[in-house]
Every structure is written in C-alpha cells, then in structure tokens.
Amino acid sequence: MFPYDRSELINRAVNTLRKKLIEEMLVVSLIILIFLLHFPSAVIPIVTLPIAVLFAFIPMYYMKLTSNVMSLGGIAIAIGAMVDASIVVVENAHKALAKWQDEGKNGDYHTVLLNAIKQVARPSFFALIVIAVAFIPIFSLTGIEGRLFKPLAFTKNFAMLFAAMLAITLDPAIRMLFTRLENYNFKPKWLSSVVNTLLVGKIHSEKKHPISSFLFKIYGPVVDAVLKHPYKIIIGALLAFLLTIPAFFMLGKEFIPPLNEGSILYMPTTLPGISIAQAQELLSTQDKLLKSFPEVLTVFGKAGRAETSTDPAPLSMMETTVVLKPQNEWRHKDRWYSFLPNFSEGPFRIIWPDKISWDELISEMDAKLKLPGVVNAWTMPIKGRIDMLTTGFRTPVGIKIYGDDLATIEKIGKDIESHLSMVKGTRSAFAERTAGGYFINFNLNREAIARYGLSVEDVSTSIMTAIGGENVTQTVEGRERFPVNVRYPRELRNDIEKIKRMYIATPSGEQIPLYQVAEIKTETGPGMIRDENGRLTGYVYVDVTGRDLGSYVNDAKAMIYKEITLPPGYSIQFSGQFEFMERVKARMKVVLPLTLFIIFILIYISTKSYVKTSIIFLAVPFSLIGAVWILVLLGYNLSIGVWSGIIALLGVDAETGIFMLLYLDLAHDDAKKRGLLKTINDLKVAIHNGAVRRIRPKMMTAAVLFIGLLPIMWAQSYEIGADVMKRIAAPMVGGIFTSFLLELLVYPAVYFIWKKKEIEKIDK
C-alpha cells in the first residue's frame, strides 16, 4: 500500500456523509409522520426531501463541484431547514381544511387550499432569501478557507432553493391528487375504502389531535403565565444572554476544524551537518519505534530531497508517513460502563469513547521518539502539505525573523526557541540554523599552481572530478542508456586528510598532492538563504498540543516581547495557520455586520415594520446562548467550521422568527377582523390562540431542525469527516434549542407589550 494513496480517505469521508444524509432524511420523515398523524399530509414534505436533494446535484454538476465532505455537508446541515417551508405550507393547509370540514365544507375546496398557501407563501419566500443571504460571509472567504467552505454554502443554498420551489409547486399538486382520489369509487368497495383511508384520510381538528392536545395542555398555562409577567420573562432572557458573554470569551480559536485523515505525517528535525549514513540509521530507528505501536499499519520514511526543485528538504529534515488502522481497531480503554454487554455500550461511546484518542496516540509516540538531537513535529499528510505550500511552515505556528545578518537572525531564533519551551502547550520549538551549514573550502594558491605549470581550471577540474564525479561515457542496455560516472571511492574522500593527499597530474607527468597547491578547511555558513520582502529571513517552527492556537500565540507573543530584545532593524512575525486566522478575522469584522444589515432590510421589506423586524432579530441572541454553551461543553474551539454553523444558524433563526411572528399576526388580525380585540384580556386571548393553537407547526419545524442534525452529532470519531461536520452542526443544535425555547416564551411577551399600547390608545 503506497502511503500517499488518499483514495481510501476520500471514499470513507464521502461514505460517512452519505450515511448521515440517509439517517437525517429518515429521522426527519419520521418526525413529520408522528406530528401530523395523517399520511397524505405527511407524505408531502417526505417526498419533497429526497427530490430536493437530488435536484441540488444538478447545479453542482454544472459548477463542477465534487461530492466531498464540505459539499455533502452543506446538504446535511440543510436537511431540517429544507422541509420547513413544506411543513408550514402543509400544516397551514391542514388547519384550513380542518376548519373547512368542521364548518360543513362551505365553499370550494381548491379555493380554501389556495388561500391557505397564499397566507404563508410570502413569509416562506423571504425566509429562503434570508437563509441564502446569511451565507454572504462564507462566499466572501478567499484562499484555502474559501476553497474549503464555499462548496458548503453553494450546496446548502441549492438544496434550500429547490425545497422552497417544490413547497409551492409539487406539494399543492400532490395534495390535489390525493383529494381527487376521494371522488373515485374503486371496485370492490373495500378497495375504495382502503385507498381513500390511506391516500386521502380524514383531517381531524387540532383539538382532537393527540399530539396537539398534549402540547396545548403543557404550553397553554405557560403562555398564560408569560402574559401575566411579560417584563420578568424579557429580563430573564436578557440575563441569560449576558451570562453567555463571558462563556464566549472562554472559547479557544483555531483556523480550520481538524479532519482525521487516518494517517500521521511525522516530521522530525535535527541539526544541520548530519551525514547520509547517520540520517539512514536515524530514520530506520524512528520507523522501528513507530511500527511498534499496535495502531500502526505501515511506516514509510524519507530523508533528504527528491530530484525535484519543489522539494528543498535537507538531510536534517525527515518525513515519515504513518498509515494507521481504522480507529475502531485501536487499543481499548476501560470506562465506567465497560461491565455492560457490548451491544448496550453504543450510546455511552458517543460521549465517552472506549478507544484511545488521536491526541493520546500522538502523545505516546512523541514520548517514545524523544531521541537525542531530534525535535519532533506531528501533523497529517494532506494538512502538512497544504500548510507547507501556503505558509512555508510544516507546523501550525511559525515565526519569521527578518533582518540583515544571518548570524544575528540565528541567534534571535535560538533565543525564541529556548523561551517558547516555557509556554504552556509547546510540544516542540525549533529555530532554523540559518548559518549552520558545513562546507569544505578549497582556497587555491595561485603562485604554487603556476610554479607547477598548472592553471586554476586544471586544479578545479581535478577536484570536481575526484570528489563530485564526472560522466565519462554511457552504457547501452537494450533501449536504455545509463551514464558512467568516475570519481574517487568513498573511503578515499570521506576525510579531509585523505582529500589533502589527493593527487593532481602536472604537464610534466608528475603527481603532486592537493595540499601543495590549495589550503583545505571546513567552515560553517548558510545552508540555505531565505529572502522575503527584500530582507533575509529565518524560521522558527512551533508544534502545539493541548491548546488552541489563538490563546497559545497570545501567550507566546507576551513571552517573546517580555524576554527578548530585538536589535535595531530586526522584526518578527507570527505565521502558519495563525496568519490565516487573522486574515479571516479581519474579513469577518466587515462582512458579518454588513450581512446582518442586509438581513434586517430584507425582513423589513417582508414585514413593513421596524418593530416586527426587531422582534424577529431577537432570535439571534437567543440562539447564541445555546450555540456558545454547547461549544463550551463539547470543548470545541471557534474555527471557520464553527462560524459556518453559527452563520447557518442566523438564517434558520430568522426563518423561525418570521414564522413565529406570522402565527401571532394571523391570530391577532383574525380577532381584530371579527371585532374581538377591544380589551387587554381580548389581546391575551388572541396571543394565546396564536401561540398555543400553532404550537404543533412550531414544534415540528424546531424538531426537524434539531433532531435532523443529531445523526451528525452522534457520529463516532473514527468516521472520517465526522469531526469537521460535528463542529458545523454543534452550534446549530445548541442554538436551535435555546432559540426555540426562548421564542416560545419571549415572543408572546414582547408581542403583548407592543400590541398592548394599541389597545390602550383605543380605550383613551
């Protein structure tokens, strides 16, 4: 097995996301079926889901977006939101038809259905636009982060677009089809009864619906209590938000969430000047130690550089690719639940894995490979290559030292290296020995050369031929040609004293030793000269463990600026993934407020009211409460993946807020139209009806959003791609939970305070 063959990684990652997509669709379909308890109504959003997912692949094909972790992840996080519009349309039609049946079927069925769809079509359309606009920050990303996360934004919006289109086209058509079956009398009669029972059914009023009546009993008293003490509820919600702010600043920061590649790239570095034989021996020792771990499948090490200009690695920098076995085959860890039968341990493994973790394995390897004169660095093959290509550093954090003298740069690097070892989280720190190369210099004595009748070119050619070798001919082996190189054997050129006794032929035929015409000595100098921005540069490589990059760099900066005084004309700059983090942070400071402003304007266009728009925007701080606390509990750092989940959450919040306010408005306007809105008590009754009588669609939309993401959250760490998707889904799961909970409590309170003023003006 060739260690750089990543086809298995790609296939396993795609299979993980494919499996999660199927699980999500099944879970969402089951939720819809349970809540509606009416097959024809339930089948409409259920049918919409797979069709919308399939349609999303059409623009993917024409945009040449491949099926990968991020593109499939965009569909995965959209599954719950995709059926929201369909649920709202179906449920509103369900309610209108139930009322139509209870009133004796007065009026045309199609007119009733069309009016029900029109009531929610406009809010559904604007909710879709808001969700799409919410991803402007993702579309604005550039560089590696843009390449990684733009496919997620594209596919999520594609899926949402087709789901919304189907909600107002296919869904009503399916309902019409089911209804028309009622007019047919199939033979025999029992077949007609079965067909109409399954495909048409009977829509019962919400009072008789078991789930609705259960929710009414629980939520009704809660709303009444909220309307009695609206200000206390609002103050309580604000306090919850204020308590979340310190927790937000507790979160660590990283660039991109980790992707478990199933392989390790071990990159040790030793001091310059190591010989090929020593490098080979060291490499062999490292490979044997790595292969001794039971989790390791294969080990392949390399020292030096290949015959290519793109690999400038010296002998002192080694690369070893360690291919690991699947994580479910790693060593077992005893847990508190280990006494249980194996089949019952599954749920507990989600929270408390019973296999050693990735970090634990790396720590064990690092401890075992602490060899004298070797500095370890651990990464993964793809991640390491991307880091080296984009930043020039093979470690997560790098420090560039700029100046005019290589010796001074090396001294500063050594000082930084020694001080960083005292910063918590430093696994290794290694400063390049910019002036640490070893050279053999031949200082030719021109007078002596002339005395023997030689020229400088004669002596130089003899040295190059004897030590470096010269191609004198080529051998023909069939169709192949091989050069024949002649030079001194290794035992005659592996020591300076032997080189000094190398003989040079004179024109007279005499053989003179080299030391008579040249001074030979070893000297140190720059093995490689780096130049950036017109200045000489030295690198310090820093490998970090057990800490987030953001807090580590802050502590490292404080240590360096406190303990090290830079000479005039010299400067340092932190690079690596930290450099990308700062770039994204600077961009988000501009793009995120702009996006929120655009969303505000869109919601205002839909509601035509600043008050309603502000009420809908209340969902944002409510959702951040859950998003932040779930990140704290799971120990996740803020990264582009987490921010993608938060940004997706903003769109979902606006959507649920629009629908929550819509139901309150419908109940308020209906009461006003019937002349039942004259007193404060009448207002409370109208709000009670708008909140409680529509609790089922609210609960359905929240349930499909929340539970639809749980298959991602319960994914095991050995499922490739799960680590990335869990960090995207986590803030959405936590945010949807608290947002829905607080919207059920705070929206009626805020709406009551707002509309109460209108009633008071009428009384005056």
Domain 7-250+609-763 and domain 263-379, same fold? Reply is no
What is the third-level CATH fold of 7-250+609-763?
Multidrug efflux transporter AcrB transmembrane fold (1.20.1640)
Q: Pick from 454, 463, 504: which is nearest to 487 by CA? A: 463
Q: Which two tokens stand for residue 460?
A: 């130089």
Q: What is the pLDDT of residue 104?
A: 65
pLDDT of residue 2: 44
**Is cis: bond before 268, omega within 30 of 0?**
no
Rounded Cα–Cα distance for residues 304 and 306 (Å)? 7
CA dihedral 397, 403, 404, 408 (to 10 degrees): -80
Low-confidence ranges of the chain (pLDDT < 70): 1-6, 38-41, 94, 98, 101-107, 109, 175-208, 306-312, 343-347, 349-351, 435-436, 717-718, 760-764
User: Which is nearest to 549 in space by CA: 573, 572, 584, 581?
Assistant: 581
Mean of pLDDT over the chain:
81
Q: What's the length of the chain?
A: 764
Contact of 206 with 674, CB cutoff 8 Å: no
DSSP bridge pairs for 323: 263, 298
Q: 692: closest CA among 252, 243, 213?
A: 213
Choosing among 3.40.30.10, 3.40.50.300, 3.30.70.1430, 3.40.50.2300, the CATH entry for 263-379 is 3.30.70.1430
- Convert the pLDDT of each residue in 647-673 to its tens digit: 888 878 877 787 788 888 888 888 888
pLDDT tens digits along 354-364: 778 888 888 88
Structure tokens at 254: 């990283």
pLDDT at 181: 47
The amino acid present at 643, given as its one-letter code, is: W
Decide yes or no: CATH 3.30.9.10 for domain 438-525: no
Number of other CB atoms surrounding residue 422 within 10 Å: 11
Sequence-ordered alpha helix ranges (H) in 251-405: 276-291, 346-351, 358-368, 381-391
pTM summary value: 0.77
Q: Where are the domains of the chain?
A: 7-250+609-763, 263-379, 438-525
**What pLDDT score was predicted for residue 762?**
61
pLDDT for position 347: 66
Helix%, strand%, coil% for the chain, nearest 5: 65, 15, 25
